[in-house]
Amino acid sequence: MSRPSILTPFFASLRSFKGVGPQLNALLGKFFGAGETDGPIVSDLLMHMPERAIDRRKEAHVRNAEIGEISTLKLHVDSHIPAPRGRKSIPHRVLAHDETGEITLVFFGNNGGWVEKSLPVGEQRYVSGEVASFGGKKQIVHPDYVVPLDKFDTMPKVEPVYPLTHGLSAKILRRLISNVLNSSPQLPEWIGEQRAKEMNWPSFKQALTNIHTPTSPEMLNILGPARMRLAYDEYLAGQLTLQLIRSQMVVEKGIERALTGALTSKLIAALPFELTDGQKAAFDEIRGDLTTGDRMSRLLQGDVGSGKTVVAMMAMAAAAETGAQSALMAPTELLATQHLNTLLPLCEAIGLKCILVTGKMPAAEKRTATEQISSGEADIVIGTHALFQSSITFADLALTVVDEQHRFGVHQRLALSQKGQKSDLLVMTATPIPRTLILTHFGDMAVSILAEKPAGRRPIDTAIIPATAYDRVIARLKARVAEGAQAYWVCPLVEESELVQLVSAQDRHAALKQIFGDKVGLIHGRMKSKEKQDVMGAFQNNELSILVATTVIEVGVDVPNATIMIIEHAERFGLSQLHQLRGRVGRGAKSSACLLIYKEPLGETASARLNTMKQTEDGFIIAEQDLALRGSGDVLGTRQSGMPGYRLAIPDVHQHLLEFAHEDAANILATNPGLTGDHGHALRVLLYLFRKDLAIPLIRAG
């Protein structure tokens, strides 16, 4: 099905509107994040929400017009005091009055005498703008509106204020929005009868009209009917998409795997520790998925160090009981190599062949690996996304495990699940995700949560220290290193930058080397893969006492003997990043410490972040706080990963609407899976409108 024709006006190029030349079109395209090819369209503009409204309804008198407030005054024009010739820095002044007092109107750049034309001496005009004070007298600099008495109705009484970008004026944007609003049609109603009755919201078109041409500032309230309606629509489109993907995963029948338990019981016996209750429960859920005929699509989320990798290993061992293969995909080569080091001894203990595939392998090694995969000799294959190149074919891929799921969007999930014939999908993340974000980003997946940490893990002592206490930190570090401790020292930048005054990893490495000599290593993202692995290996083997790093070590690096984490310029990191970094220590039985070094002065948000870190180690509490401080887009790195960022919905404000949309999408697909009939057509219009075309081919026929 192609896009319904009723939506053509919403997808019209802004270039087709009067007044939009190449320059403005390019500016709008950049502002709305439109690609080079498609350029900005009408719906980009209509879904650009105002932040607030200016209320010009209050007609004041000069005497009671308040300084700093917007006022609309009915003034008598007395005289003009033009700027002296050639003195552009001096403004043109207009003296005016009403029956309560006098006021000056100030204009810069009166070219062509337009001020005299719009404010003729002896006549009355309505003037609206922000009242200021200069030399004890009231004035308005560049009034927003100057209109004759008979044209008073043309002045907007309530005016929306939009986020702008350099070079884009409010006036141009408002005029353009008014034009496109007039050209957009009424759309069929996709909100179900019951929900519509309950909420009493306006239609989609009316909601847009209320927001962009409000008659009172209350109409713009984010909890008002218009904005709530639009937020719900955006959520419903997202939830329908995710649930269509999920129903697709489930409808493509999986394979009922007859698990014997032989390898998993061997694995449990080989583990040097007891599984936690959470790990046992998560594995039971996964085993349940593998033995039903439905394809598994499960998110395993657990805090840093909660033992997700062991659960994944159990799942892969279970798949191997049926003679099938598993693939474990990590976001970086460093992590893939680390997974190999962790899993290889366990695989050897239970008789499974585990191999590594990376993009930078020598050709001969890669050929051997490819043959072992296609022949079925390799039971478990670990690698980066290089695993899913077309040159690699699996003999029988039963299970795909993806580590650090939030680096992969919905499109990638679909592509991954299609590589194996009917293969199951298990994704792991060490970013504890609040329920709101689970629904918005992973509504297509079942969820298992590992809430507790493995036995023997000790709490991490966290301290917040100003940069001025650097000498004290070094003295303490010297004492601990002398006792055999190992430490990470994390910096926000690789090298010195002219733009920001921050200590870089290279500078800190050089400074620490003068104190600790060759016991200090350096690792960052710009190094070659082999260099990184060599440095990491030296740190793991305790040949290095201090590892200076950028956030390349944020995810998954495991050195149980490392007990100190020092984060320099901690105020520059997000909460979940700080939490991930701190989780690199406290992985052994020794007590660990985390020092958050900040540069003064500390802003309010940064202070809230650091205090949250000091108060709790619970990743779920931290994730909720991170969502409150930063918004959903940043928490999951959606800016980079192609996940849905929202334009109309505000996740922490409209959370209840997300729950409604989740419930409604499930009911819709249960009663009308083919989205047929009038209501089905309206829902297809909704999916296209919010650019969820990805879901359209997944709608089941009939």
Per residue in 428-453, pLDDT tens? Answer: 887 777 666 677 667 667 888 887 77
Q: Where are the alpha helices (DSSP H) in 186-329?
A: 193-199, 204-212, 225-251, 262-270, 277-291, 308-320
Mean of pLDDT values over 262-282: 91
Assign 644 a pLDDT band (cuts: 50, 70, 90): very low
Give the CATH H-level superfamily of domain 262-450.
Answer: P-loop containing nucleotide triphosphate hydrolases (3.40.50.300)
Q: Which of 92-101, 498-507, 616-625 is predicted least confidently?
A: 498-507
Per residue in 105-150, pLDDT (tens digit) is 999 877 767 888 899 999 999 999 999 999 889 999 999 999 999 9
Tell me, yes or no, if the two domains 262-450 and 460-616 fold the same way.
Answer: yes
How far lies 480's CA from each of 318, 474, 476, 564, in Å? 43, 10, 6, 9
Position 522 scores a pLDDT of 92
| Backbone φ/ψ region at 112: left (φ over 0), alpha (ψ -120 to 50), beta | left
Give residue 48's Cα distance to chain centre: 18
Residue 518 has pLDDT above 70, yes or no: yes
Per residue in 52-79, pLDDT (tens digit) is 888 888 778 999 888 988 899 999 999 9
Residue 557 has pLDDT above 70, yes or no: no
Pairing verdict, β 520-523 and 546-549: parallel
Per residue in 171-217, pLDDT (tens digit) is 889 889 999 998 899 999 999 988 988 998 999 999 999 999 999 98
126: helix, coil or strand?
Answer: strand
Of 403, 404, 407, 378, the closest CA to residue 392 belongs to 378
Alpha-carbon span 425 to 548, nearest angstrom: 36
523 contacts 536 by C-beta, under 8 angstroms: yes
Domain ranges (residues) in the chain: 5-53+164-220, 57-155, 262-450, 460-616
Residue 702 has pLDDT above 50, yes or no: no
159 contacts 130 by C-beta, under 8 angstroms: no
Assign 393 a pLDDT band (cuts: 50, 70, 90): confident
Mean of pLDDT values over 536-562: 83
Position 40 scores a pLDDT of 87
Q: Which of 342-351, 407-416, 583-592 is predicted least confidently?
A: 407-416
365: helix, coil or strand?
Answer: helix
Residue 274 per-residue DSSP state? P
Answer whether CATH 3.40.50.300 is correct for domain 460-616. Answer: yes
Assign 498 a pLDDT band (cuts: 50, 70, 90): low
Residue 597 has pLDDT above 80, yes or no: yes
| Backbone φ/ψ region at 443: left (φ over 0), alpha (ψ -120 to 50), beta | alpha
Assign 356 a pLDDT band (cuts: 50, 70, 90): very high
Mean of pLDDT values over 560-574: 90
Pairing verdict, β 592-598 and 460-466: parallel
Element (H, E) at 355: strand 354-357
What number of CA atoms fall less than 13 Å from residue 182's CA on the CB side?
Answer: 6
Q: Which of 298-307, 427-436, 630-639 is predicted least confidently?
A: 630-639
Position 242 scores a pLDDT of 82
Element (H, E) at 625: helix 619-630
Residue 638 has pLDDT above 50, yes or no: no
Of 101, 47, 53, the closest CA to residue 74 belongs to 101
Q: What is the mean pLDDT of the chain?
A: 85
Assign 297 a pLDDT band (cuts: 50, 70, 90): confident
CATH code of domain 57-155: 2.40.50.140
Alpha-carbon span 297 to 416, nearest angstrom: 11
| pTM to 2 decimal places | 0.60
| Choice between 196 and 520, residue whose per-residue pLDDT is larger | 520
| 339 Cβ neighbours under 8 A, 6+ residues apart | 309, 328, 330, 382, 403, 556
Alpha-carbon span 421 to 393, nearest angstrom: 11
Position 66 scores a pLDDT of 87
CA end-to-end distance (rounded Å), the chain? 14
Assign 319 a pLDDT band (cuts: 50, 70, 90): very high
What number of CA atoms fall less than 13 Å from residue 463's CA on the CB side?
Answer: 12
Per residue in 32-56, pLDDT (tens digit) is 876 555 688 999 999 999 988 888 8
Angle, helices 619-630 vs 604-615, to 10°: value is 170
Position 691 scores a pLDDT of 86
Residue 680 has pLDDT above 70, yes or no: yes
Assign 619 a pLDDT band (cuts: 50, 70, 90): confident
Position 555 scores a pLDDT of 53
Q: Where are the alpha helices (DSSP H) in 376-496?
A: 410-419, 435-442, 470-482
Q: Which of 251-255, 301-305, 556-560 is predicted least confidently?
A: 251-255
Mean of pLDDT values over 220-233: 93
Alpha-carbon span 61 to 607, nearest angstrom: 45
Alpha-carbon span 405 to 644, nearest angstrom: 15
Position 577 scores a pLDDT of 83
Q: Which of 20-34, 198-212, 616-630 is predicted least confidently?
A: 616-630
Q: Which of 35-44, 160-169, 550-559, 685-694 is predicted least confidently?
A: 550-559
Mean of pLDDT values over 640-659: 70
Assign 267 a pLDDT band (cuts: 50, 70, 90): very high
Position 108 scores a pLDDT of 86
Of 411, 374, 412, 418, the closest CA to residue 396 belongs to 374
